[in-house]
Structure formats: structure tokens, C-alpha cells
Chain A
Amino acid sequence: MTDRVQLHEPYSDSGQQHEADMMGMSVFLASEIMLFGGLVIAILVIRYLHPAETVEASKSLHLWIGALNTVVLLTSSLLVALGVTAARAASAWWTTRCLFGVAILGLVFLGLKTYEYSLEYADGVLPVLSDPPRFSGSIEHLFMNVYLMATGLHAVHVSIGIALLAGLAWRVGRGGLQLPQETVTIEVSGLYWHLVDVIWVFLYPILYLAR
């Protein structure tokens, strides 16, 4: 992929190309925010329609696993920021380690999330899978439905982010990605990871802390 060092077709200077790449990712992330926005609205509407039952349903979530996951993701975002700084300073060694660190923290997040799903499965409150389901009422069922949709979609985004950053770390480590010329690739992928993190920062309170 050494062609990335050169300018893409419509560009004549690298500053312009860098700005365009960053802006393209920002616009894409705006669109991602709207994607989750629909789900957030659904969660808030359910809470508005059934306040007492929603608070009750929220108590069946495992608050501390969610809190731990928040810490894991926030730490990973710090690593992304460090990785980008290292890339700007042309330190392939540090960049590789930071990005691999992010991917590992991402896997830790997914592992904790899976453990949490399995606990909910055992409690009989994981929609679709729990058989027989043991919801205390229809509102808890509704709440767990939207919980599974929201966290599931978020987990898909985390998985994409892990693949993206692990791939980048591998390329940097093998010298396939020239630093600092191609820092922008790491920067835009890092932006994506930050967004995945920010989405969790919103999902956590409206799902877990709603109790």
C-alpha cells in the first residue's frame, strides 16, 4: 500500500488531502451518531412511557460489569490518542504497541459483555435466547429488547474497530504503513474508535444508571 504516500487523484497538495480525509471521517461519524440516535430515542421513549417499570427493569442489568467496561473503553481511547501522537512522532514501535493495546482492550470489552449476556441468559432475561424467558413483566421484556439491540449494535461497531486497529498495528509493525506520512489513516481510524467509545458513554447511563 505504498501508493498511499502519493497524493490521491483529485488532490494537488497534501494539506488539502489530509483535511479532506479528516472531514470525510467526521461526516461519516455524524451519520453514525444519527444511526444510534434512533435507538437512543427508542430507549428514552420507553422510559417516558413506563418510568417505574423501566427503573425496575434497569435493575436486572449488571451495573458493575457495565462500569468496568466503561473504564476499559475510556482507557482504550487514551491509548488511541497516544498511538496517534506516536505516529506523528514517527515512532513505529510505540504506535504498534498502542494500537495492539487498543485491540486487546476492545477484546476485553467484548469478553466482559459476553459474560454479562451469559449472566442475563442464566437469569432468563436475555430476549430471543432465554428459554423459557422469566421476565417480570412485558415492560421488562421491552426494555431488555431495546437493551440487546443497542448493546448488540454497539458490539458490532467495537468488533469493526478492533479489526481496523489491529490491522493498522500489523501494517505499521511490518513497515507497510509509512510514518509519519500516513498518520492520517491512523487518525481517522482513531476518530472512529473514539466515537464507539462516546456512544458507550451515552448508552451506559440511559441503560444501566436509569435505575
Chain B
Amino acid sequence: MSDLATSDHYGRTADDGGVSETGTQRQSYLRAGHTLRSWLFTTDHKRIAILYLISITTFFFIGGAAAALMRADLLTPQGDLLSDEGYNRAFTLHGVIMVWFFLIPSIPNTFGNFLIPLMIGARDLAFPRLNLLSWYIYMLGGLFTVYVLITGGVDTGWTFYTPLSSMFSNGNVVIAATAVFVVGFSSILTGLNFIVTVHKLRCPGMTWGRLPLFVWSHYATSIILVLATPVLSITLVLIAAERLFGLGIFDPKLGGDPLLYQHLFWFYSHPAVYIMVLPALGVVSELIAAAAHKPIFGYWFVAGSSIAIAIIGFLVWGHHMFVSGQSMYASAIFSLLSLVVAVPSGIKVYNWTATLYKGHISLDPPFLFAMGFVGLFVVGGLTGLILAMLAIDVHVHDTYFVVAHFHYIMVGGTVSAFFGALHFWWPKMIGRTYSLVWGRISAALIFLGFNLTFFPQFILGYLGMPRRYHSYDPSFQVLHVFSSSGAVILGAAYLLPFAYLFYSMRCGAPAEANPWDARGLEWTVPSPPPRENFETIPVVTRPPYDYPVEREGGDD
């Protein structure tokens, strides 16, 4: 590190106390306090975002470990690694942890928390202390989950269907339901905070029409968080009341309706899919505009499609219940509405494509992650249309086809966008740049590993392999081996960024304020940003994404 002996143009000097601390870093939020206390009692949205980043990444790897166990078990048709019960517990924990402790909070609670105030020119979220409280509630829910994990897990599947969960299951259903109930309040508080922040804390000139699309998609997400999560909460309370006190609401012996549970559950859990994917769509809009160096094509359509997805998303839950015996007319309407929700999703993909057209595209890691997202999202979306068709759904219901479909959206889509966001905003958050070559390699490996893992599952499902079975017909083994070997690549590819990103924290070159030459208020402040974000509250005078527009043959 001899090159640091003298001061360079980033303000690094030999006596700055760290190998690599820059002048900007010394004044940043990262150095606003050095004690553990200054982190655990912070109300700074940026620090809370970092707390979330650490905790959700931990849960991502716990959930991933459960998936690794399942894929290892599925290598042979006999399922000789795990017991039947053990396999049930593995996929339940995988689902519960990945859905509620990783996917739902992933992008909103880290990048949303960090970026929304920066993007709209505010010093913090509307309720900073509530924001910190939501992290503590999340951690409390996490503790319950860890307790469930240690005491042997739960075997109902992440959906907690009655009457299995209320009358027959032997696992820790009540504690698992409590964990999800508790973490739900964390979601509600975050959503509430985002809605009020976007309404009330936009800086002068930041009109609704100038909001970055990332903010629009988080606004739509927050509406779902606030309105759908409480329905899940009360449903879980009813499950717990039935198990603990025999207070059965869904109990068929009393004339209760187990299907009512499914309606209430999916009223939350289908919109929850949009909670997971809408923030990802917002990330990709930012990544694509920045990579193409062009104004986003059809700004209002992309923004409006987020709101449309949020609204229509509330009206499609019945497509999870086509084979449950619900009314055929209801099924037909749910089928139609599920096809309709593809329209705003399609609008986004077309507009991204149009944005890229004739752009000056830089093949940096964020762009590659965004492209991976678009490819996987399109496959996931189109297979969603297949599943929305009543007749085909009967054939592939509860098979690996469904498993592959929602993993394309939730993992291929959301996790790719999560890594894309991490690579795009990492220099802003940490103030360091990482190796672009390794970034490109991991983007490519994630895309390849993902497809090798999940594409065979479409075929498996179509051939009739049911989900949640760990012993299967030997004729399915070849495809399962493909899938498991893909999972090995995918797992390694997910670990890779942590190596070079950690390395960059200490040894990366200091990042400029705007390393990608992108637009948006977050790129006007130093990297990493100072504690108060903006020295003076900015005034916005220009439209969003005002990249220079070239016209053929000059302006005419």
C-alpha cells in the first residue's frame, strides 16, 4: 500500500488512520459514529439500510442452505438424505425464510430505505424512529424463526394451509406463524413510512412527474404492504387461536370452511408476489436508463404500470385455487384478471427495450444483471400466462412447473435485481468501486446457473413431477440431476459477489460521486453520502432521466 504514502486527489493521506479512508468517507454517514451503539440506535435511514442489508443477507444464506439440502436430497429418486418429515421441514423453512425474511424486505428495506430520501431530496424518511423500530421488529420476527429452526422446524409448507396446519401438523406452527405475524408489522411500518415520505418530503421542484421510477415502484409496493399484510396477520392469528384454544374458524367439523383460509391467505400472498417484484422492476428501470444513457421511454407508462400492477394484483388471488372447487365463474374471472395483469408487466418490458434502442450501452455489471432480470422475468411472466389458463392449470397444478414459474419471477427476477441494485449503488453506499470484471462474471454465472437449475423443472412439471415430493419416479432423475448441478453453480455465483464486494470495502478505489454518469439526485451527493444527505435541500428544475438526446441529422 505504498501508493497511499502521499495525499492523492481523493484526499487520502498517510496519516488518515486507515489504509484507505478518504476525505469523503471521513465525513460520511459511515463515520458519523464508531460505536456499536451508534449503529443500533441510529435513526439515519442509510445506516438502517445497512443494518437491513446485513440481516436479510444472513437470512438469504440460511434459506439458501435449506434449498441446498433439498437439491442434494433430490439427486436420487429414493430421497435418501432426508427423512420424509425432514424434507417437509426443509422446504417449509426455505419458503418461510425466503419469502418473509428475504424477498419481501430485500429491495425495499435496503435500497428503498437508503435511496428514497436521497432520490426525492429529503434528509430522512418521514418517521426515522419508526424506521428503526421496523428493523427491531424484523429482528424479533427473525429470532422466532431461528427458534423454530433450532427446535426442529415446521412442516406445513410456507402456505400454512388448513386443516393441516390447524389440526394435524406436529411442528412449531404457532411459533412460525408468530414469526410471520411479527415481521408483518415491520413491513407495514416500512410501507407507511415510504407512503408518507413520498407524499410529504419531496424537495422543491420534485413533482410527481419527476419522481424516479424506483420511487414510483416503491410507492406502489408500499400500498400493497399497508393494505395486504394485515389480512395475513389476522389470518395467522386465527390459525394460532385454533391450535392454541380450539377456537376454530376454518374447522369443517363446526361448519367452518377450510377454503376460507385459502382465500384470506392468497388475498395477501398474491399481492405479496408484487411486493417482491415491483421494487425489482423499479431497480431495473433505473439500471437500464443509466446503462443506455437515454431518457426512459414512456415514463408515464412505466410509472403508471407500477400502480396498475398494485391495483390489479389485489384481484387475482383466486388463480391459486382453480382446482379447489371454487365456482367455475369465479375461476373464469380470476383467469381473465390474471391475464390482464400481464399487460402492465409487458408495458414495462417493451419500454425498457425501447429505452435501450440506439442507446450508448455500457456493458457494466448493473446492466448485465438488468438484462438477466429481463430475460428471466419474461420467461417467468409468460409461463404465468400459461398457468392462468384454466385448462392448462389443471394439468400442471402443484407440479414443478409452478415451482419453476415462481422461481423465475422471485429468484430469477427479484434476486437478480437485488444483485443488480447492489452492484449499481454499492459505490454510492460504501464509497468504493469493485472489480467490474468479477461483477460481469458473477452476473453471467447467476444467469446460467439459474437457468440450469430451474429450466429442467418446467419439463419435470409438465411431465408430471409433483412439488413437495422427495421420492419420485426414476425416470425423472436425469432432469433432477441437471437441476441440482445448476443449483451448485447458482450457489457459488451468489457467494462470489460477497468476496469481491467485501474486498472492495477495504481495497477498492474510492468511488466518484457519479461513477456511472447517471442522472438522479442520489448521484449529486458525495459517495458515501454525508449524514444529513444534502448540505442544502436541492431544487429540481429538470425532468427525470434528462440524458442528452441525439437526433439523426441533428435537431430539426
Contact = CB atoms under 8 A, between A and B. Distances in A.
A179 to B, nearest CB: 23
A111 B223 CA distance: 37
A30 B245 contact: no
Interface of B: 43, 117, 122-128, 130, 188, 191-193, 195-196, 199-201, 226-231, 233-235, 237-238, 241, 245-249, 251, 253-257, 260, 263-264, 267, 537
A50 B255 contact: yes
Contacts of B43: 9
Interface in A1-22: 8-10, 12, 16, 19-20
Contacts of B191: 27
A127 interface: yes
B128 A23 contact: no
A101 B238 CA distance: 34
Interface string A18-34: 01100110011011101
Interface residues of A, number: 38
A141 interface: yes
A72 interface: no
A142 B254 contact: yes
Contacts of B230: 31-32, 34-35, 37-38
A41 B256 CA distance: 13
Nearest to B259: A45
23 contacts: A9-B123, A10-B124, A10-B125, A19-B200, A20-B200, A23-B196, A27-B192, A30-B226, A31-B192, A31-B230, A32-B230, A34-B226, A36-B234, A38-B235, A42-B249, A42-B260, A45-B260, A127-B245, A127-B247, A141-B254, A142-B256, A145-B249, A149-B249
B256 A128 contact: no
* Residue of B43, B249, B260 with most partner-chain A CB within 10 A: B249
A23 B198 CA distance: 11
Q: Which 9 A-B residue pairs are closest in the complex by CB-CB distance?
A: A35-B230, A38-B234, A10-B124, A142-B254, A34-B230, A20-B200, A138-B254, A128-B245, A10-B123
Contacts of A35: 230-231, 233-234
Contacts of A41: 260, 263-264
Nearest to A145: B247
Contact of B196 (A27, A50, A141, A145): A27
Contacts of B199: 20, 23
Contacts of A45: 257, 260
Given A27-B226, A38-B264, A142-B256, A20 B201 contact: yes
Nearest to A54: B255
A10 B126 contact: yes
B215 to A, nearest CB: 16
A34 B196 contact: no
Contacts of A42: 238, 249, 260, 264
B127 A24 contact: yes
Interface of A: 8-10, 12, 16, 19-20, 23-24, 27-28, 30-32, 34-39, 41-42, 45-46, 49-50, 53, 127-128, 138-139, 141-142, 145-146, 148-149, 153
A145 B254 contact: yes
A23 B193 CA distance: 10
B199 to A, nearest CB: 6
Contact of A31 (B188, B267, B537): B188
Contacts of B249: 42, 142, 145-146, 149
A145 B249 CA distance: 7
Nearest to A27: B192
A31 B255 contact: no
Contact of A38 (B125, B192, B231, B257): B231
B257 A49 contact: yes
B422 to A, nearest CB: 26
Contact of B128 (A8, A146, A153): A8
A30 B362 CA distance: 44
A141 B246 CA distance: 11
Contacts of A127: 245-247
Given A20-B200, A23-B199, A128-B246, A142 B255 contact: yes
Contacts of A34: 226-231
A12 B192 CA distance: 20
Nearest to A16: B200
A31 B234 contact: no
A39 B254 contact: no
A49 B255 contact: yes
A30 B192 CA distance: 10
Contacts of B255: 46, 49-50, 53, 138-139, 142
Contact of A142 (B122, B228, B234, B251): B251
A43 to B, nearest CB: 9
Contacts of A50: 255
A50 B255 CA distance: 8
Contacts of B260: 41-42, 45
B202 to A, nearest CB: 10
Contacts of A36: 234
A37 B264 CA distance: 10
B107 to A, nearest CB: 20
Contacts of B122: 10
A15 to B, nearest CB: 10
Contacts of B537: 12
Contacts of B246: 127-128
Nearest to A43: B249
A106 to B, nearest CB: 22
A41 to B, nearest CB: 7
Nearest to B130: A24
A27 B247 contact: no
A149 B130 CA distance: 28
A148 B199 CA distance: 39
Nearest to A24: B196
Given A8-B128, A38-B238, A138-B255, 10 more contacts: A20-B200, A24-B192, A28-B188, A36-B234, A37-B230, A37-B234, A42-B238, A53-B255, A139-B255, A149-B247
